[in-house]
Amino acid sequence: MDWGTELWDQYDIIEKHTQSGLELVEKYVKFVKERTEIEQSYAKQLRNLSKKYNQKRSSKDEPDCRLSSYQSFLDILNEMNDYAGQRELIAENMIMNICIDLTKYLQELKQERKSYLLEAKKAQQSLESTYKQLDSSKKRFEREWREAERAAQNAEKTDQDINATKADVEKAKQQAHMRARVAEECKNDYAAHLQKYNKEQSQFYFNDMPIIFNKLQGLDERRIQKLAQGYMLFSDTEKHVMPIIGKCLEGITKAGTNVNEKNDTMVIIEQNKSGFERPGDLEFEDYSQGINRASSDSSLSTPKGPIDLLGKNRSKNFWLFKRSKKFTPDKILPTVTEDFGHLPPEQRRKRLQQKLEEISKELQKEADQSEALGKMKDVYEKNPQMGDPASLATQISQTSQNIERLKGELNKYETWLSEAGVRGETLRYRAHAINNNGAHEVLSPDGAHSDESTPDSSQAIYAEFDDDFEDEEPVTPIGKCTAMYNFPGASEGTIAMEEGEELAVVEEDKGDGWTRVRRHNGDEGYIPTSYVAITLNK
């Protein structure tokens, strides 16, 4: 069934329905736009929330940065930021694929509907014009026929009038004959217009309007189909990003599983261990026995435990828990020094080693640049057309100065590190050899350990270094240990181990949280003391 056959007389209904359908499309487009605004607002709030709690650290040395719980929280914030990006993508795709597309299609439908209605209006006007001509010819025929009848009656009456002259009778008959002829012409004209109108009316109701109504029906069906596609896109747009959103949520779950409480507690030890020994017992000074004052003063001048290490407030007790005091201008924070002397021994050693590693990397970079400049200079000398060797003199000179400066800093920090003391091998950075052509030879740190793996002891603070340590015979094991956890041993100076593995203990933990062990194949290195169960020989 179609509109042209079944709704041939419902023009107003069809016009109203098609208009209502277009308004529904407009309403849906508006609905989707408001939905995208909600998505964009939601995404913006999520981004702001992630940014609020993901403040950039000014330094990688911040204490919390190495905690797995802190890193997992940062991972969650990053995943939420990615999640917000997917919500923005949903809004963007809805605008492009639904709002813009439907709006463009809606304009096309409006123009098409307008053209169909215009066709119907023209056909209606043409039929009405034909009807008016028919009605006019009909009325003229009616009027002329009545005039002809009156003229015929008048001629008959004149003919029967005895007083009328022959001329009057003839005139009346001519008038009646003329009127009858005009009436006959009007009759024929009326018949012609009637035939024309009936033909156009049949064309209008059985051909023209059904075609227009069927076109409007096709337009409405296409509108409905396009709107249905828009409905499905509303869902498909979000389904399309669901896998990525799922990955974001999986990332959040993974962040939770990556939290390692054991590792975090070990990091706290590593970051905050001072290297001081616990304070010893205070001696009893019996003033009632007349103790020599000088002797008492002498005993007081030999501080014990951490008091001597602190280097200040030697006459005061060392308190584990600092008492909260109101800040006053005279309570100035310790001055930060270049040699990190303001830090406890363990932390000072780590910072010095970090500084040495940074200088070594920078020195390596300068040496690489010096080598490259030297090679370029050689090329220029052999092939002058490629460049002037003298143009590189400034860069070569500057690089050489940088290398010398970095060497000086390297020696300075090596001296400070020697003063701070390390257990085992002394950290040594061998100098860079620069030849006349700018080439260089860089030797990597020998015996260096990273801050994650280099053991230290409080006793080593005052110990002398044994430069011939590498030449000594292997130390006899003092016990054995069994690994309770896996340890990667990725840092220099450490050794990897697997859970359940048995190792020989070469050097006992001196209070820094690290124990030196040896495998059966002779490999030695440090492992976290808390990761193993140790049994010492009696």
Q: What DSSP letter does each residue of 100-153 carry, written as one string? A: IHHHHHHHHHHHHHHHHHHHHHHHHHHHHHHHHHHHHHHHHHHHHHHHHHHHHH
Query: pLDDT at residue 142 above 60?
Result: yes
- Among 179-183, 220-224, 272-276, where is mean pLDDT lowest? 272-276
Answer whether 475's CB lies under 8 Å from 507's CB.
yes
Report which of residues 226 and 424 the model is more confident about.
Answer: 226
Query: pLDDT at residue 30 above 90?
Result: yes
* pLDDT for res 484: 87
- Among 87-91, 190-194, 429-433, where is mean pLDDT lowest? 429-433
- In 3D space, the residue among 314, 305, 406 whose CA is nearest the CA of residue 357 turns out to be 406
**Residue 423: pLDDT band with limits 50, 70, 90:** very low
Query: pLDDT at residue 372 above 70?
Result: yes
Report which of residues 213 and 434 the model is more confident about.
Answer: 213
Mean pLDDT of 339-353: 78
Query: pLDDT at residue 18 above 70?
Result: yes
- The third-level CATH classification (topology) of the domain covering 348-420 is Helix Hairpins (1.10.287)
* pLDDT for res 487: 85
Residue % of the chain over a pLDDT of 70? 80
Q: Count Cβ atoms within 10 A of the Cβ of residue 480 and give its class: 0-12 exposed, 13-18 middle, 19 or more buried.
A: middle
* pLDDT for res 57: 53
CA distances, 387 to each of 381, 383, 391, 397, 399 (Å): 8, 8, 8, 18, 19
Query: pLDDT at residue 134 above 80?
Result: yes
**Residue 428: pLDDT band with limits 50, 70, 90:** very low
Q: What is the pLDDT of residues 325-337, one digit of tens each?
A: 444 444 445 567 7
Q: Give, to the nearest 10 degrees, the angle between helix 393-420 and helix 345-382.
A: 160
End-to-end CA distance of the chain: 105
Q: What's the rounded Cα separation, in Å, for the pair 266 and 277?
A: 19
* pLDDT for res 56: 63
Supply φ then ψ for residue 285, to 5 degrees.
Answer: -110, 110
Which distant-in-sequence residues (6+ apart) come within 8 Å of 213 by Cβ? 2, 3, 4, 7, 8, 11, 14
**Which class in CATH covers the domain with range 479-536?**
mainly beta
Which distant-in-sequence residues (6+ apart) come within 8 Å of 527 by Cβ? 483, 487, 489, 494, 495, 497, 503, 514, 515, 517
Out of 2.60.40.1190, 1.10.4030.10, 1.20.1270.60, 2.40.30.10, select the CATH number for domain 3-258. 1.20.1270.60
What does the domain layout of the chain look like in residue ranges? 3-258, 348-420, 479-536
Q: What is the pLDDT of residues 383-420, one digit of tens each?
A: 888 788 888 888 889 999 999 999 888 888 888 887 77
Answer whether 527's CB lies under 8 Å from 514's CB.
yes
* pLDDT for res 369: 87
Mean pLDDT of 190-197: 93
Q: Count Cβ atoms within 10 A of the Cβ of residue 315 and give its class: 0-12 exposed, 13-18 middle, 19 or more buried.
A: exposed
Q: What is the pLDDT of residues 58-75, one digit of tens each?
A: 445 566 777 889 889 999
Mean pLDDT of the chain, nearest integer: 80
Q: For 102-110, which contacts have Cβ atoms below 8 Å and span 24 or more sequence positions?
A: 102/25, 102/28, 102/29, 102/32, 102/226, 102/227, 102/230, 103/29, 105/25, 105/226, 106/22, 106/25, 106/26, 106/29, 109/22, 109/25, 109/219, 109/222, 109/223, 110/22
Report which of residues 323 and 217 the model is more confident about.
Answer: 217
Q: What is the pLDDT of residues 490-518, one digit of tens each?
A: 777 788 899 899 999 998 887 777 889 99
Report which of residues 523 and 286 the model is more confident about.
Answer: 523
Instruction: Find the radius of gyration of the CA atoms of the chain.
Output: 53
